[in-house]
């Protein structure tokens, strides 16, 4: 498995070896020994597994979970194709407001790890794009927040040939600067502390 550290601290891309023959393919999107060597700890305890199915042009994000408790994510694409964006929404982080991206599809079979406190968005490039997640906490609507996906300060570079489809929630979301003023963004030091604590629970 190949590993690439992204520009956002704690975020990584993982590309597994794909074994194929006349029957099809076999691969392992998550491999704990590789993850632990790269990140310095095992993945969080997996509390919930989820997936979404999206039409071409659908944008989901920028989403993040209140800290505490925060939510770590490990995501991969089992069908279709998406561009996955990781946005640093942690106040006090040296890369606050910056982003990086990974193209996800079932051919290259890349996965991405999104640490606690970091924002996440993807845009579907094909119909029936399916993104699967391993999550460190369960989904609780009252703890989930969003940043506007078209925030000009973040300036994510969406493919020009897409007609973007946004939910009402994401369309009404504040910009990053507005969210900071509202005091809803995760704190960098607290996010790192919760990240380390989750890992300690997993390894104990």
Annotation says 145 is catalytic: no
Distance CA(102)–CA(201), nearest Å, equals 29
Distance CA(72)–CA(118), nearest Å, equals 8
Annotation says 63 is catalytic: yes
Q: How many helices (H) and strands (E) does the chain have?
A: 4, 13
Give the HSE-up count for residue 122: Cα atoms under 13 Å, Cβ half-sphere: 29
- The single residue of 12, 44, 63, 76 carrying the catalytic annotation is 63
- The single residue of 12, 74, 85, 133 carrying the catalytic annotation is 133
Bridge partners, residue 2, by sequence: 15
Contact between residue 69 and residue 153 where contact means Cβ atoms under 8 Å apart: no
The residues carrying an active-site annotation are 63, 133
């Amino acid at each position: 498995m190949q590993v690439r550290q992204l520009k956002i601290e704690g975020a990584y891309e993982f590309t597994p070896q794909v074994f194929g023959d006349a029957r099809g393919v076999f691969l392992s999107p998550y491999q704990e020994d590789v993850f632990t060597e790269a990140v310095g700890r095992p993945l969080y305890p997996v509390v919930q597994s989820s997936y979404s199915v999206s039409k071409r042009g659908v944008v989901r994000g920028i989403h993040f979970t209140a800290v505490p408790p925060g939510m770590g994510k490990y995501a991969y694409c089992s069908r279709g194709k998406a561009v996955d964006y990781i946005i640093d929404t942690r106040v006090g982080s040296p890369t606050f407001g910056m982003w990086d991206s990974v193209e996800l599809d079932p051919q290259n079979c890349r996965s991405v790890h999104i640490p606690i406190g970091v924002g996440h968005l993807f845009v579907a490039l094909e119909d029936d794009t399916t993104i699967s997640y391993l999550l460190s906490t369960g989904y609780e609507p009252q703890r989930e927040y969003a940043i506007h996906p078209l925030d000009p300060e973040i300036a994510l570079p969406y493919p020009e040939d897409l007609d973007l489809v946004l939910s009402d929630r994401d369309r009404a979301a504040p910009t990053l600067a507005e969210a900071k003023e509202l005091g809803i963004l995760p704190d960098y030091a607290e996010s790192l502390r919760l990240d380390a604590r989750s890992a300690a629970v997993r390894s104990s």
